[in-house]
Structure 1
Amino acid sequence: MIDTSPQDDKPRFGRQPGDLSPREQLERIIRVDHAGEFGAVRIYEGQLAVLGKTESAETLRHMKEQEELHRKKFEELLAARRVRPTLLGPVWHLAGFALGAGTALLGKEAAMACTEAVEEVIDEHYRAQLETLGPEEAALKETISQFRDEEIEHRDIARSEGASDAPGYELLTTAVKTGSKLAIWLSSRI
């Protein structure tokens, strides 16, 4: 059956075969967001391992502290909603640190380009989730909205700290964005 909403003329279809149930969709959201925040903490830990005694350290610590609060909140949601975390945690533990340390070894600007690229993907990711979640998930939407604002702040900090001056900026940010999108896709499913 097609239901046309009074707000627009676009047809609205009900749930189709193969669509996730609302519970499955919620589980994926919490699982992938937890994995992403875990990965973000590891990226900053890698960057701090290299840049922890430089002028960038305070900025990196600030962003890492916010990511740690995000991770902790999603850990609470995993437990409260009885959602299993991604099975890829050990991969993200190593990959996140390696990405952070590797980009930091290329210089502060490359570390900032990494942050900018990741946060651009997360901004889109969180925005899509906010559009997907219904009014029955108002508290979760508020949490995601707050975290999205902080991720946008991180992106803006990275830009102001010279992300676009990184060597191979376009190649680096394209690779990080592609890897981030792949990590989102995998973590939501595995």
Structure 2
Amino acid sequence: MNMAPTRCLARQAGVIGRHFLPATRPLSTSVLLRAPTTASSTSEPSSSSSPKKLKPLTQEQRDFLSSALRVNQAGELAATLIYSAQTPIVVRKHPHLRPLMAHMYDQEAVHFSTFNSLIHKHRVRPTALYPLWSVLASGLGWSTAILGREAAMACTEAVETEIGNHYNEQIRSILEMISSWEAQGYDVGGEIKQLVDTLRTIRDEELEHLDHAVDNDARKAEPHWLLTNVIRAGCRGAIWVSEKV
């Protein structure tokens, strides 16, 4: 397997996560940071220090996380619909690809379920363009499959390149938040760390799909440069709109 695309993108956001760790409380209400304590000058020894003071997310941080969950849910919906539209056409001519297509779809379905749960748990409004993205994603999957196996794989290459970059940006932003909190002397709560781990795990699986696509002749699609650039531009536009609408 050609792992170069994965390693290149994954390095941008630091160490790769390995496990899903579900969120435990709504981001909109939970307290994620703990203020440090100092030893009392008159009371118990340090081994029985008082409970740490808690600090909630700021409104700006809540808005960022809500936007991230909204666009991630929309993106994973689109991914499941692309594979659903591609699979029957691709495997009809290339039956040996059935296990790979099923594997990639199954992972996207888990990603979609993960963000559905987070959207519901944290009371985040889904994008208002949900129906439009559904139609466009199905159309993209069907049209690229009709063009042939190479075009279908080029679609996966283009989409996963943008999605990998997008998840890296989210991870980087959250890690910057964590670094800032720690620099102020706060211990970071487990929920925000769990969210980073979840994003890393999903990011890594998306980049595996990119590698699978390249290994299965995505770059032999004609014209590869035009097809992938158009799809990547569409993905960037959909991400930008879904973050806001």
Q: TM-score, normalization: structure 1?
A: 0.87
Aligned pairs for 1:102-181 within 5 A: 102-133=143-174, 134-135=177-178, 136=188, 137-181=192-236
1:121 shift after superposition: 0.4
Say yes or no: does 1:182 pair with 2:221.
no
Shift >4 Å, 4+ stretches: none
CA deviation digits over 1:42-84, x for unaligned, max 9? 1101101322433222211110100000000000000111101
3-state SS of the aligned residue for 1:83? Answer: coil
**% identical equivalent positions:** 39
**2:238, 2:121 → 1: CA distance?**
24
**2:221, 2:86 → 1: CA distance?**
15
**1:166, 1:103 → 2: CA distance?**
10
Letter matched to residue 156 of structure 1: D
3-state SS of the aligned residue for 1:167? Answer: coil
**CA separation of 1:181 and 1:150: change in aligned 2, threshold 3 A:** same
3-state SS of the aligned residue for 1:26? Answer: helix
Aligned twin of 1:71: 112
1:92 shift after superposition: 1.1
**1:123, 1:143 → 2: CA distance?**
14
Greater per-residue helix proportion: 1
CA deviation digits over 1:148-167, x for unaligned, max 9? 00011000000000000011
3-state SS of the aligned residue for 1:123? Answer: helix
Larger Rg: 2
- Unaligned 5+ segments in structure 2 are 1-58, 179-187
Aligned twin of 1:3: none
**2:99, 2:138 → 1: CA distance?**
18
CA deviation digits over 1:133-185, x for unaligned, max 9? 13451111100000000011000000000000011100000000000000100
RMSD over aligned Cα atoms: 1.1
Which is further off, 52-61 or 164-173? 52-61
**2:99, 2:141 → 1: CA distance?**
16
Q: TM-score, normalization: structure 2?
A: 0.68
Maintained 8 Å contact 1:103/1:110: yes
**CA separation of 1:32 and 1:39: change in aligned 2, threshold 3 A:** same
**2:237, 2:99 → 1: CA distance?**
30
Maintained 8 Å contact 1:49/1:101: no
**2:119, 2:108 → 1: CA distance?**
16
Q: Figure out how many residues of one structure are paired with residues of the other and give that number.
A: 171
Which is further off, 45-54 or 26-35? 45-54
Aligned twin of 1:31: 70
Given candidates 86, 90, 96, the residue that maps to 2:127 is 86
Aligned twin of 2:8: none
Aligned twin of 2:100: 59
1:87 shift after superposition: 0.9
3-state SS of the aligned residue for 1:21? Answer: helix
